[in-house]
Amino acid sequence: MLTLQKMGRYQGPKGPVVLVIMDGVGLGQGDSGDMVTRASKPHLDWLKQNVVSSRLKAHGTAVGMPDDSDMGNSEVGHNAIGAGRVFAQGARLVNEAIASGNLFAGETWQALMAQCAERKSALHLIGLLSDGNVHSHITHLEALIEAAAAEVKQIRLHILLDGRDVPPTSALEYVDRIEAKLKAVQDKFGVDARIASGGGRMKITMDRYNADWDMIKRGWDIHIKGQGRGFASAREAIEAARAEKKGIIDQDLPPFVIEANGQPVGPIQDGDGVVLFNFRGDRAIELSRAFDEEEFSEFDRGPRPDAFFAGMMQYDGDLKIPRRFLVTPPAIDRTLGAYLAANKVPQFAISETQKYGHVTYFFNGNRSGKFDDKLETYVEIPSDRVPFEERPWMKAAEITDRAVEAITSGQYGFIRLNYPNGDMVGHTGNLLAVEISVEAVDLGIGRLMKAVEEVQGILIVAADHGNADEMYEIDKKTGQPATDKKTGDLRSKTAHTLNPVPFHLYDPTGVAKARLADHGDRELGITSLAATSLKLLGFEPPEDYDPSIVDVG
């Protein structure tokens, strides 16, 4: 089933095919907020002018999102690149499950409601309060609240504030909206529904790849134990934090607990139901483990409540995290990595901690582990635990060091790496740091070009989505950077973009004789990187893969 046919006369390069994913480096408009254009990047500029180059879609339906108004993200981007074709992704699957009623008719939701009704206990909903559609969507939360209000007597929300996939200081818009929803169900059903705790997503609860378990512990203390600084309302907590630290953005807001009469209104207790309503896996796995695992040593949980815990989705199908979930995730099969392993092509994958799971787990179709231990080498460079704007070069040099070693070793046929800089630093909104982050990536690419030339390999340079290419909000009417009506300042943007991403093919020996394939008016997306990689390796891609960007031979 996974056997690939070799091409005719073209058998691939002498050295490896290397796929570079510049996370968050899209193609912007060249305006004052386009840090990719503003950065000094001689190697990327040279590639654009001198090698086979194109533009690829990396958002919306091209990566399995509900529609083309939805930005891409690193999770679905690496799924798409590794899968070679489009699969319906988290947001679309949840939308469909809610619209059809299948979520609420499902075994997990029914069991959750039954327990809360039988034990007269509370339902707790934990997740990102946002409509960014990257980790969650507020409409999903509203649907859960509406359905639960008819079944349970008490609902408590534990809200994580975004400012990363949405405007950086927009938290109160979402708080006001969800408070209105809570009041509506209180009036309609008589349910006691309130916000119980919260905090910025980069301070509590949403760590990933085991980078900072203290974030999970802080979230556990806030959400589960109700231990933390108390306020009468979420609005009061947010306004107090902004008054105390000028310029703070939502993702960095400190944690808070909502109190009444000096007591927290919503600690999680025995018998309660809990739903983590984020659909994206990477920043949901650790909290799920803390709820699910009997033997747990990452931090001292204290007495673990005997609660019914479920995720919006199962975030890791191999490790069964969590055990109970509301919506079945996409079943991504026959990935590029699986085909290469089956056809005995040695692979090397590398990034630093922040994106290590993307070039392994997500690239392999939400699959933990390797397809063949003897043929695959995965390397994680530990990320620095400092604010990204303070060290925008991150671990680009170290990633490059190890990648160059792999390229020149002669051990691998296919190498993939992710430079996280454009995305992780892009989310900070710090323009100078973002500019430097792109320059750090360009330096690394220059070194990779030399290594590939030395061993007569081929280098593919692309991205999973945009971010650093648009650091100001764009006015939809004018197409230019938008200004704040009150201050006249340009409005900062920390979210991903809807821009296409670059594709450059560097073949220093010209062995592939590559040229852009003619696909008529069809706009190719990043899913086509898989078929392109296979062709450059000398294999005929599977018939149902999205077509190669280039023809060879």
pLDDT in tens, 11-56: 999 999 999 999 999 999 999 999 999 999 999 999 999 999 999 9
DSSP state of 383: P
Counting Cβ atoms within 10 Å, is residue 100 exposed (0-12), middle (13-18) or buried (19+)?
A: exposed
* Distance separating alpha carbons of residues 516 and 503, to the nearest angstrom: 11
- Residue 228 sits in the same domain as residue 248: yes
Could you give the C-alpha distances from 393 to 63, 75, 352, 418, in angstroms and in order?
28, 22, 12, 13
- Beta strand 263-264 with 123-129 is unpaired
Looking at residue 108, what is its pLDDT? 98
- Residue 118 sits in the same domain as residue 211: yes
Kindly report the CA angle at 311 between 306 and 313, in degrees rounded to 5? 155
Listed residues 290, 311, 327: the one ending a domain: 327
Which run of H or of E encompasses 129? strand 123-129
- Is residue 403 situated within a structural domain? yes
- Is residue 87 situated within a structural domain? no
Mean pLDDT, range 421-428, rounded to an integer: 95
Which among 52, 62, 55 has a CA at the least distance from the CA of 500? 55
pLDDT band at 318 (very low <50, low <70, confident <90, very high): low
pLDDT band at 270 (very low <50, low <70, confident <90, very high): very high
CA atoms 502, 400, 547, 357: torsion sign? negative
Domain that holds residue 369: 17-52+331-516
Task: Kindly provide the b/e burial profile for residues 153-191, where b requires at least 16 CB atoms within 10 angstroms of the residue's own CB.
Answer: bbbbbbbbbbbbbbbbbbbbebbeebbebbeebeeebeb
- Is residue 292 situated within a structural domain? yes
Asked if 121 and 154 touch (Cβ cutoff 8 Å), the reply is: yes
- Convert 81-92 into a string of H (helix), E (strand) and C (coil): HHHCCCCCCHHH
- Is residue 549 situated within a structural domain? no
- Residue 367 sits in the same domain as residue 320: no
* Distance separating alpha carbons of residues 289 and 322, to the nearest angstrom: 7
Structural domain total, the chain:
2
* Distance separating alpha carbons of residues 205 and 276, to the nearest angstrom: 11
Catalytic residue numbers read 74
* Distance separating alpha carbons of residues 471 and 490, to the nearest angstrom: 10
In the block, which residue shows the tokens 């899913």? 527
Dump pLDDT digits (tens) for 121-167: 999 999 999 999 989 999 999 999 999 999 999 999 999 999 999 99
Could you give the C-alpha distances from 103 to 124, 189, 315, in angstroms and in order?
17, 21, 16
Question: Across all residues in the chain, what is the average pLDDT?
Answer: 95
Dump pLDDT digits (tens) for 67-80: 888 888 898 999 99
Note the pTM of the prediction, 2 decimals.
0.78
- Residue 153 sits in the same domain as residue 48: no
